A and B are shown apart, each in its own frame.
Chain A
Amino acid sequence: MSNSILEGALIVESPAATTVMSMQQALNRALDEVLAENPKTLIFGEDCGRLGGVFRITDGLQAKHGEQRVFDTPLAESGILGMSVGLAMAGFHPIPEVQFDGFAYPAINQIVCQIARMNYRSRGTLPMPITLRVPSFGGIRAPEHHGESLEALFAHVPGLKVVSPSNPHEAYHLLKYAATRPDPVIFMEPKSRYWQKGEVDLARHDAAGGSPTGAKVMREGRHLTLVAWGAMVARCLQVAELAAEDGIDIEVLDLRWLKPIDAAALAASVRKTRRAVVVHEAPLTSGLGAEVAQLITQSCFDTLRAPVERVTGFDVPYPSGDLEDEYIPNIDRILFGIQRVLEYKRG
């Protein structure tokens, strides 16, 4: 599975400079380096210290950087995020963790009413350089509230930025980038991809010189653009491989930043392919796919050959593990979406 990502992702990078590692290792390494580079960074949350987090993303960091820099908090998400605000006011760069996506809900007041607004409320005098790590999305047969996709909710809140890496290389570089920003960033880690290995070029984020805040073409194609983020990028790359067997040449665009969305990259890709399907795990209605579709429509209305299609989760609570595969967009459903766009006939 990881090979298919690599073929799409790393086109021209020198093999000598790359290291193979899992996303868990890449995130761990990024955090280690951020702690070493900026003495004001702090990592904390539930079980982040001694245990190294339930996903081991912070493994070994407390032993290396000390209990003052990497520590466990009581089990209370609002407390973790509220405390982050005060630490940011005191000049720190907190990198708190919410253990699972669904546990961000108890902290919504602090995220939406406080973190997102403090820079504005204080007229820029109290920036909130907070990088909130959220293990996100589904795919691991976890209990309820452990498989949520909150990007549309966060993206809707003025004052927040939202990003999600799709592979170890992106995870390493996007986390290092996010953790040095002066604004709050919700960092959504696709937990189903934590253990997939891939090549990481530690020296360079984007060999082509692209912006770290932009989207990234993971595979070039001529017939249709698949837009995705997080764990869905790898799936879309698989779909592209399969479609290629039928002579359909698909471009896969990893959106990466879900706020701000790289509208120019969407426009550039779809102006070329003239067709687009957006894929996400979150429920359909008012999902981020609607925003993507509108941005594409706005920039590419004249060249679009078909309405932008959305292949997404359903408007249902995230189901139990047994039904997970029925919910998350799978290869067949994405292929059907592609087919609908390719076969679209103007009225």
Chain B
Amino acid sequence: MDTLPVASGDAAEPLTPAQLRELYSLMVAVRHLDTSAIAWQRQGIIPGYAPELGQEAAQVGSGYAVDTTRDFVFPTYREMGVARTMGVDMVAYMSTHKATWHGGLYDPLESRLAPIQAVVAGSVLHAVGWAHGQTLDGTDGVALTYFGDGASSQGDIHEALNFAAVLKAPVVFFVQNNGWAISVPTERQVAGGSVAARAAGYGMPALQIDGDDVVAVVEATRRAFAHARAGNGPVLIEAMTYRRGPHSTSDDPGRYRSLDEERDGAGTDPLERFRQRLLADGIADEAFFAGALAAAKAEEDQIRTGIQALGSRPGTEMFDLVFQETTPALQAQAANWREESEHV
């Protein structure tokens, strides 16, 4: 499905071999960090994690279209691949899974990535507001906002799509339909079977794409960005993918899907698929793949070391970061806490 008018200009430019290799390197880095994070959880390094195994193409491909000098991204809690692609400090990003600070320790303004938050669909409206702010300021920034098939059931998604369409706000709504909202499959979640189909009701162009084909994802997202950036209003992309792993490190998919179902639903691994394509097209060779994996391992090693070195934030931050202008009651509670907990 593709109701987006054919865009002109740079959106249509094909990816260069160097860019294709970069995309592969990013996907390997994300895959390795993602699977390692599960190991970290098992080893007690972090208390929990929401893996994105199988969604590397959707996340790296969409994140690759972002221009961090002018765009802004609104993630859920499963967009590690997007963050990595955007060049966010990954120790600061993964600190949310270390339970250091809810939103992560990265600077959202500098990173152009809104803080991680856990109410699905909650941040999608923020993207609409931010994007409308760009219109009011006369800039050409675009908001990219993520949600899944599960979140598509939330009323805030309807409100966000409608507001964006009414305001003609420059937003790209990127749906990762990974087939599962924890234990509930898409067919019990999305009436009509497609989130992209709903865009028509808002008069909004939409694309339903193969979310496991990283090149298709980059191209679709670039087209959507070009459309929104040109002042034509929002676009919805539904990237069809598959959550190959559990919902989180606390989840047990064996209770709601069989291994056979998992194999059938997942299809070919997007990373392996891309590798075969690069080989077939003569864009990369085994030496390149080995180098990319080695780099990914070195990177993961560095991030893990950084995460292990992260101490707890000082307890005073509980009080100091509630308001810009604190209150006497909060100051009194902080003083009381200091006295009774730190014995000073």
Contacts and interface: CB of A to CB of B under 8 A. Distances in A.
Contacts of B117: 113-114, 121
A124 interface: yes
B105 interface: yes
Interface of A: 42, 68, 73-74, 76, 78-79, 81-92, 94, 109-110, 113-114, 118-127, 158-159, 161, 181-183, 259-261, 263-264
B103 interface: yes
A90 B132 CA distance: 9
Interface stretch (B3-11, B19-27, B108-116): B108-116
Contact of B136 (A68, A85, A126, A161): A68
Most buried by A among B127, B132, B136, B159: B159
Closest 10 CB pairs of A and B: A86-B129, A82-B125, A90-B133, A79-B159, A83-B129, A121-B103, A86-B130, A260-B327, A182-B324, A86-B126
A264 B329 CA distance: 11
Contact of B143 (A86, A88, A91, A158): A86
B321 A123 contact: yes
Given A86-B128, A89-B129, A114-B126, A120 B163 contact: no
B24 to A, nearest CB: 33
Contact of A83 (B125, B324, B325, B329): B125
B48 interface: no
Given A89-B126, A90-B130, A125-B108, A119 B163 contact: no
A122 B322 CA distance: 10
Given A126-B108, A261-B329, A82 B136 contact: no
A92 B125 contact: no
B328 A82 contact: no
A119 B323 CA distance: 7
Contacts of A158: 322
A291 to B, nearest CB: 10
Contacts of B128: 79, 82-83, 86
A78 B155 contact: yes
B133 to A, nearest CB: 3
Most buried by A among B101, B127, B163, B166: B163
B230 to A, nearest CB: 20
A78 B156 contact: yes
B133 A123 contact: no
A74 B166 contact: yes
Interface string B139-150: 000010000000
Contact of B125 (A68, A110, A123): A110
A90 B129 contact: yes
Given A90-B134, A114-B122, A263-B329, A85 B129 contact: yes
Contacts of B324: 119, 124, 127, 181-183
B269 interface: no
29 contacts: A74-B159, A74-B166, A76-B162, A76-B163, A78-B156, A78-B159, A79-B163, A83-B163, A84-B129, A89-B72, A89-B129, A89-B130, A91-B133, A91-B137, A109-B119, A109-B122, A109-B156, A113-B119, A114-B117, A114-B126, A119-B322, A119-B324, A121-B102, A123-B321, A125-B109, A183-B323, A261-B329, A263-B328, A263-B329
A29 B131 CA distance: 29
Interface string B41-72: 00000000000000000000000000000001
A161 B166 CA distance: 31
B136 A92 contact: yes
Contact of B132 (A78, A87, A123, A125): A87
B172 interface: no
B53 to A, nearest CB: 26
B107 interface: yes
A304 B75 CA distance: 54
B125 A86 contact: yes
Contact of B115 (A94, A118, A259): A118
A87 B329 CA distance: 29
A259 B108 CA distance: 28
B214 interface: no
